[in-house]
Amino acid sequence: MPAVFVHGNPETAAVWEPLLAELTPSRPDLVCLSPPGFGAPVPAGFGGTPAAYRDWLAGELAAFGEPVDLVGHDFGGGHVVNVVLSHPHLVRSWVSDALGMYDPGYEWHELARRWQTPGVGEADVAARFGSTVEERAAVLVERGMEGAVAARVAAGQDEAMGRAVLTLYRSAAAAGAPGLGLPLERAAARPGLAVLATADHVAGTEEQRRRSAARAGARVVVLEGAGHWWMTHDPAPAAAALTGFWASIG
């Protein structure tokens, strides 16, 4: 049974590398899936909405032929939850650090609001993804990503990712708050774990994340002092939490 990892924005699967290195000795069946536009080509006709990413992920998981342990970060965490809500048979367990988005009081973070604003968003992604690899990496480090990982992620950022960012964030905003799928209570159909990195300031407040975890029937693991890219800095506590969670599932 594979453990499947889905990253978010504006990232590639390189964000998982430190965490996977910690997990590999005890869990060799690790797979990363890159959402279209975020380290993978965008198929012709792909809508780029949360529903389109949900359907993409469901199709990828169905190909495994057995339920998987699913882990998601950032908007990838939203894709994970949306699949659990709509296709629970594809999942043995799920982990997400993005449950705050499902709280009725959640407000989009500043950068998301910029991307959702016509003209402003286009200017931002043109500057962000049209800069040099070194400049892109520096921005990621400034926002909290570990340096070596940032360099690898930056190498995969391009204009296609910029277009995917605008489409995804604008379509999600148009759906309204929380605007990311079916009633969260349905996620309790499968064992869930909410990752609460205390210094992550884009995933909603701690109260919002805890309320959503309770609605979803998910356990909560607290990564004290960890930021948005918790998997790139000191991944050992996160690896221990995942290993323990998986071991507890019958």
Which ranges in the chain belong to alpha helices (H)? 17-23, 50-62, 75-86, 110-115, 120-129, 133-142, 147-155, 159-174, 206-215, 236-247
The yes-or-no verdict on residue 12 having pLDDT over 60 is yes
Q: Give the global pTM.
A: 0.96
**Contact criterion met (CB below 8 Å) for 81 and 179:** no
3-state helix, strand, coil in the chain (%, to 5): 50, 15, 35
Which residues does residue 197 pair with via DSSP β-bridges, in sequence order?
Answer: 223
pLDDT at 178: 54
Structure tokens at 218: 């998910």
Under the banding of pLDDT at 50, 70 and 90, the label for residue 177 is low
Rounded to 5°, the CA angle 43-44-45 comes to 110
Q: Quick one: fold of 3-247? A: Rossmann fold (3.40.50)
Average pLDDT over residues 149-163: 97
Amino acid found at 192: G
Query: Going edge to edge, which strands form the sheet with 192-197?
Result: 30-33, 3-6, 68-72, 91-96, 192-197, 219-223
39: closest CA among 69, 68, 65, 9? Answer: 9
The yes-or-no verdict on residue 110 having pLDDT over 60 is yes
Kindly report, residue by residue over 51-85, the tens digit of the pLDDT.
999 999 999 999 999 999 999 999 999 999 999 99
Of the chain, the percentage scoring pLDDT greater than 90 comes to: 90
Kindly report, residue by residue over 16-41, the tens digit of the pLDDT.
999 999 999 888 899 999 999 999 99
Dist CA 71 CA 87 (whole Å): 15
Backbone angles phi, psi at 92, to 5 degrees: -85, -40
Under the banding of pLDDT at 50, 70 and 90, the label for residue 1 is confident
Q: Which residues contact 34 (CB under 8 A, 6 or more apart)?
A: 7, 12, 13, 40
Under the banding of pLDDT at 50, 70 and 90, the label for residue 182 is low
The yes-or-no verdict on residue 175 having pLDDT over 80 is no
pLDDT at 180: 54
Under the banding of pLDDT at 50, 70 and 90, the label for residue 176 is low
Under the banding of pLDDT at 50, 70 and 90, the label for residue 105 is confident
pLDDT at 23: 97
Dist CA 149 CA 159 (whole Å): 20
Structure tokens at 33: 């899936």
Of the chain, the percentage scoring pLDDT greater than 70 comes to: 97
Structure tokens at 107: 């407000």
Report the mean per-residue pLDDT for the chain.
94
The structural domains of the chain, with segments of one domain joined by +, span 3-247
Dist CA 147 CA 169 (whole Å): 26
The yes-or-no verdict on residue 104 having pLDDT over 90 is no
pLDDT at 183: 85
**Contact criterion met (CB below 8 Å) for 158 and 129:** yes
**Contact criterion met (CB below 8 Å) for 87 and 244:** no
Q: What is the DSSP letter of 219?
A: E
